[in-house]
Amino acid sequence: MKFETLTLPENVREEYLIATYYMKSDSEPDLFDWVKLVAADQSAGTWTHVEGETPEVVEKYGAKVIGIYSMAQERACVARIAFPIANFPKYLPMIMSTVAGNVLGQDGIRLLDIEFPDSLIEDFPGPIMGIEGIRELLNVPERPIVGAILKPCIGVTPEVSAEGAAKAALGGAEIIKDDELQSDPDYSPMIERVRTVMKYLREIGKDKSVLYAVNITGERVLDRAKRAIDAGANAIMVNYQTLGWGVVEDMVRALKRENVTIPIFGHCAGMGAYYRSPVNGISTALSLGKLPRMIGMDMSLVYPDSGRFGIKTNELVEVHNMLTSPMGNLKRSFTTIAGGVHPGTIEYLMDLLGNETILMAGGGIYGHPMGPTAGARAILQAIEAVDAGFSVEEAAKSNKELDAALRYWSK
């Protein structure tokens, strides 16, 4: 029996999710047949007929090819395949096993997007606080949020981290986070670091107006989250890819059940292995945008197109749209730009993405020639200038911290 994948069901929008792939090959004899094989492999069929593969099974549980669009100047196509949601639980690891499992083991296949029916979207946890909740908490109604990444990130005591946090907060940083490399080393235990940073923030009157996202990445992450919160953490951070989609999704669901109301910062450590290739892996829009938002990241880190880890400009815009556009009942997530951000990049980033961002600097704050307080102040001065309709160069004439930053990083 031939595995039939071309019957388009009327209920495709309600009972199927739709995966869109870029597929390129100079060796596959027929791209059309290749797309059909992918649909079969990832659902109720395989490369040859097997016992039990009845027309009834294929009709009900087989994936359906609903679009194949040839590329003009290369032997490639964009393919859209609908997968019955009856085939998997409403849980991201199994969804990804379906649409990005064996299929991505082949050369020339890149998962571009997944369209979820409302019944699936509504079952995901989504952000705890989202953009609106964080803005209300910080009392920053419109402009971009100022973020700081604690530097040095490795080899320092909790006191050094706390001093750095306090200095950045005094300059106007509103969200301060651990580096993705800093979690729970012997020289800076997570709980001690939380308590020390929050103590320093209290002493300068910033513990209610500044969020400190402590990196809880590690084993038994839900337990770690609860211990960090009990120690005074007002935000937490996870490296969601290295922990695993399901682990993070489970953690957010559990925190929501317990009515926890602190935001979660999602760091994309390791995701570059998925999105860097233009012809393989998973698109940036999915891996940095839609999927982190679905599993509950209130703030999702994205590398700018201007930094050394940068993605392409169109990819940056696509990720931002995935995080901030309507998506069922899920709250919106902050696009958190980090990686080579300094005052000289602020105007470009705001012009490109608007105000629904956190503009976050590590070296761009802690490397300021006048120190981290001046570094954070320079970021804030640049944001406020652009928000008021001025260029950063104009604003630098009356702001010494901004002027020093522009001069220092002009090269």
What CATH code is carried by the domain that includes residue 48?
3.30.70.150
What CATH code is carried by the domain that includes residue 237?
3.20.20.110
- Residue 138 shares a structural domain with residue 283: yes
Instruction: Answer yes or no: is 300 within a domain.
Output: yes
Strands (E), 76-144: 76-84, 109-115
| Residue where a domain stops, chosen among 65, 98, 121 | 121
**Residue 52: pLDDT band by 50, 70, 90 thresholds?**
low
Indicate if the pLDDT at residue 5 is higher than 60. no
- Residue 107 shares a structural domain with residue 137: no
- Residue 369 shares a structural domain with residue 343: yes
Tell me the sheet residues that pair with 211. 175
- Residue 116 shares a structural domain with residue 141: no
Give pTM, 2 decimals.
0.93
User: Rounded distance, CA 316 to CA 364, Å?
Assistant: 20
pLDDT in tens, 61-75: 888 999 999 998 899
- Residue 63 shares a structural domain with residue 148: no
Indicate if the pLDDT at residue 254 is higher than 90. yes
Quick one: pLDDT at residue 72?
86
Indicate if the pLDDT at residue 6 is higher than 60. no
Quick one: pLDDT at residue 410?
87
Indicate if the pLDDT at residue 243 is higher than 90. yes
pLDDT in tens, 101-117: 999 999 999 999 999 99
- Across 25-46, average pLDDT: 86
Q: In Å, how far are 177, 271, 372, 378, 409 from 405, measured between CA atoms?
A: 22, 31, 11, 7, 6
Q: Which residue has the higher pLDDT, 406 or 45?
A: 406
Quick one: pLDDT at residue 11?
67
Q: Which residue type sits at 332?
A: R
Residue-range definition of the domain harbouring residue 264: 130-408
**Residue 9: pLDDT band by 50, 70, 90 thresholds?**
low
| Residue where a domain stops, chosen among 121, 154, 180 | 121
Q: Which residue type sits at 241?
A: Q
**Average pLDDT across the chain, whole number:** 93
Indicate if the pLDDT at residue 10 is higher than 90. no
**Residue 23: pLDDT band by 50, 70, 90 thresholds?**
very high
pLDDT in tens, 77-90: 999 999 999 999 99
Quick one: pLDDT at residue 91?
95
User: Rounded distance, CA 328 to CA 191, Å?
Assistant: 36
Instruction: Answer yes or no: is 187 within a domain.
Output: yes
pLDDT in tens, 333-359: 999 999 999 999 999 999 999 999 999
- Residue 263 shares a structural domain with residue 337: yes
- Residue 189 shares a structural domain with residue 296: yes
- Residue 296 shares a structural domain with residue 363: yes
- Residue 237 shares a structural domain with residue 338: yes
With contact defined as beta carbons under 8 Å apart, do 402 and 375 qualify? no
User: Rounded distance, CA 330 to CA 125, Å?
Assistant: 8
- Across 140-164, average pLDDT: 96
Active-site residue numbers?
Answer: 151, 267
Quick one: pLDDT at residue 114?
97
- Across 268-295, average pLDDT: 96
- Residue 164 shares a structural domain with residue 103: no
Quick one: pLDDT at residue 309?
80
Count up the domains in the chain and report the number.
2
- Across 191-204, average pLDDT: 98
Instruction: Answer yes or no: is 393 within a domain.
Output: yes
Q: In Å, how far are 45, 118, 229, 236, 337 from 89, measured between CA atoms?
A: 19, 15, 30, 28, 33
Instruction: Answer yes or no: is 4 within a domain.
Output: no
CB within 8 Å of 398: residues ≥ 6 apart: none
CB atoms within 10 A of CB 75: 14
User: Rounded distance, CA 26 to CA 399, Å?
Assistant: 58
Indicate if the pLDDT at residue 2 is higher than 50. no
| Residue where a domain stops, chosen among 92, 121, 150 | 121
pLDDT in tens, 164-183: 999 999 999 999 999 999 99
